[in-house]
Amino acid sequence: MLRAEFGDTAFGTWLKPLEVARLDGDRVVMTVPTQFMRDWIVAHYGDRIRSMWAGVNPAVRSIALSVRPPEPRGAAAAAAVDPVPVPPPVAGCEPAEVAPEFEEMGARLDPRFTFDSFVVGKPNEFAVAAAEKVAASLSPPFNPLFLYGGVGLGKTHLMHAIGWRIREVTPQRRVVYLSAEKFMYQFVRALRRKDTMSFKELFRSVDVLMVDDVQFISGKESTQEEFFHTFNALVDRGRQIVISADRSPADLSGLEERIRSRLGWGLVADIHPTTYELRLGILQTKAEKLGVEVPVRVMEFLAARITSNVRELEGALNRIVHHASFSGRPISIDTAREVLKDLLRAHDRRVTIEEIQRAVVEHYGIRMADMSSSRRARAVARPRQVAMYLAKQLTTRSLPEIGKRFGNRDHTTVMHAIRQIERLCEEDRSLAEDVAALRRRLQA
Ligand code: ADP
Ligand code: MG
């Protein structure tokens, strides 16, 4: 029941780990593995779970969630080296500055990438909550934290934000952030210098290791191997690891199976493509930071038209603002169109209605003819509506034009389909995920 309502991903992450402990008078007591999950479930699913219980057993008035003691982690964990308990770092014990060798092995954190400057919305709120949790915990609340999502959606920003927060709160902890590419480069250099020992020692002495874009080491076997050893050594020592990639652990082909599965052991948090609201929020925040008045209509225009990712959205805003200050002309939709001509054109060209139809047909396993047929069975009508919705979102075609491509339908039918899908996406997580996946695929 809840699976259908919230979709497989949300269900698997949040609701499956719930266990019913007992019925305590009119209260159902359930347990979850971690405090973090408890808080998240209470905040996001509490009411739903309560009403579901009340539906099953009218005597139930309330629910309680408690954290259950950890379970042994199974054969893979037992096979690994025994964990070495690490005493929590004591403030003032070690110098606060970052030792030079850590500077060199990692990359500098970008001062612009903090939690404060990160705009939170539905598509990223879970990833942000997980990142904040990691930054605030002395021992790993989950290991690794695996962040994934398409380009320009804020993975690197969030990792830097974790780094800054930890340096601020517990400066004695050694935080290293680097790209998987740099990890490989350093490893290869150590091999060449026949000095892998100090490479190993260096990486194993880190408190928090963040490796960005691990998809990069797909197919690079010896780097993977070394990465895996480093990873295991740190996890066993109770150090925190944060990983990012452009896809989920399961989809990281070219990575050894044991590595892939281990990457999924902790918490996997995906950053979904931006919504219109989030894009608007980001534009408002950035414009404020730039100290420029940007008319609301212009921001709405940008939020509607630059849908690919936040990096492009930021770039577009910067261009408009620069143009205005150089030309002395006020910012308007007309100047925006002019300044962003190439960008907007690239966006328009990106997807055709036919590509959308083909992707939807494949996704749902129906036939191309169903896109223009008059069949009303839900199994084909719903995908057809999804395709119309995406056609409106991803192309600049008008409603009548879209209708024409879907078996000569009327523009009011298209309008209805768009409203319907918008409404359903709010309620139906699995549909929302289908739409998000299709959009990602079409914009890739
Ligand atoms: P990724 O690593 O996922 O490709 P980045 O973290 O590099 O993406 O983000 C690209 C740009 O977009 C950065 O300048 C980042 O600050 C900005 N950005 C992304 N998401 C947000 C957000 N939610 N709020 C503010 N800025 C964001
Ligand atoms: Mg990045």
Q: Residue 209 — φ and ψ, nearest 5°?
A: -110, 125
Q: Is 395 left (phi over 0), alpha (psi -120 to 50) or beta?
A: beta
Question: Is the predicted pLDDT of residue 137 greater than 60, yes or no?
Answer: yes
How far does the centroid of ligand 1 lie from the alpha carbon of residue 205, in Å?
29
pLDDT of residue 107: 86
Average pLDDT over residues 73-98: 37
Average pLDDT over residues 140-162: 96
pLDDT of residue 85: 37
Average pLDDT over residues 42-46: 71
Is 71:31 a contact under the CB 8 Å cutoff?
no
HSE, side-chain direction, 13 A CA sphere, residue 81:
13
Q: Which range has the worst mean pLDDT, 35-44, 360-369, 377-386?
A: 35-44
Cα(195)–Cα(245) distance, integer angstroms: 29
Share of the chain above pLDDT 70, in %: 83
pLDDT of residue 4: 59
pLDDT of residue 15: 67
Average pLDDT over residues 157-173: 96
How far does the centroid of ligand 1 lie from the alpha carbon of residue 292, in Å?
20
Question: Is the predicted pLDDT of residue 271 greater than 80, yes or no?
Answer: yes
How far does the centroid of ligand 1 lie from the alpha carbon of residue 234, in Å?
28
Classify 377 as helix, strand or coil: coil
For residue 89, cis peptide bond before it (omega within 30 degrees of 0): no
The model's pLDDT over 272-316, given as tens digits with 9 standing for 90+, comes to: 989 999 999 999 999 999 999 999 999 999 998 898 899 999 999
How far does the centroid of ligand 2 lie from the alpha carbon of residue 212, in Å?
7
What letter does residue 92 receive in the DSSP assignment? T
Cα(18)–Cα(343) distance, integer angstroms: 47
How far does the centroid of ligand 1 lie from the alpha carbon of residue 245, in Å?
14
Cα(5)–Cα(79) distance, integer angstroms: 38
Ligand 1: lining residues by beta carbon, under 6 Å: 113, 117-119, 124, 149, 151-157, 282, 310-311, 314
Q: Which of 109, 113, 153 to mutate to test the pocket of ligand 1 (most atoms within 8 A of CB)?
A: 153
Question: Is the predicted pLDDT of residue 23 greater than 70, yes or no?
Answer: yes
Helices and strands: H and E segment counts in the chain: 21, 8
Q: Which of 274, 310, 314 to mutate to test the pocket of ligand 1 (most atoms within 8 A of CB)?
A: 310
Nearest CA to ligand 1 atom 6: 154
Ligand positioned closest to the Cα atom of 275: 1
What letter does residue 11 receive in the DSSP assignment? I
Closest CA to 50 of 28, 23, 19: 28
Q: Which residues are within 8 A (CB) of 341 and not within 5 positions of it... i.e. 6 or more apart?
A: none
In ligand 1, which atom is closest to the CA atom of 157?
A: 6
Full set of structural domains in the chain with CATH: 2-67 (3.30.300.180), 100-271 (3.40.50.300), 276-346 (1.10.8.60), 353-443 (1.10.1750.10)
Pair type for strands 208-212 and 175-179: parallel
Average pLDDT over residues 9-21: 66
Closest CA to 202 of 89, 82, 100, 109: 100
Q: Is the dihedral of CA 272, 277, 279, 285 positive or negative?
A: negative
pLDDT of residue 131: 98
pTM: 0.65
Question: Is the predicted pLDDT of residue 418 greater than 60, yes or no?
Answer: yes
pLDDT of residue 87: 38
Question: Is the predicted pLDDT of residue 384 greater than 80, yes or no?
Answer: yes
**Greatest mean pLDDT among 45-59, 347-361, 429-443:** 429-443
As a whole number, the mean pLDDT across the chain is 85
pLDDT of residue 80: 33
The model's pLDDT over 196-242, given as tens digits with 9 standing for 90+, comes to: 888 888 888 999 999 999 999 988 888 999 999 999 999 999 999 99
Where are the strands (E) in 133-230, listed by range?
Answer: 145-148, 175-179, 208-212
The model's pLDDT over 172-206, given as tens digits with 9 standing for 90+, comes to: 999 999 999 999 999 999 999 998 888 888 888 99
Q: Which residues are within 8 A (CB) of 156 and not within 5 positions of it... i.e. 6 or more apart?
A: 113, 212, 244
**Strand ranges of the sheet holding 19-24, from the earlier edge strand across to the other edge:** 19-24, 27-32, 62-67
Average pLDDT over residues 355-367: 93
Ligand positioned closest to the Cα atom of 212: 2
Q: Residue 189 corresponds to which tokens in the numbers above?
A: 């250099």
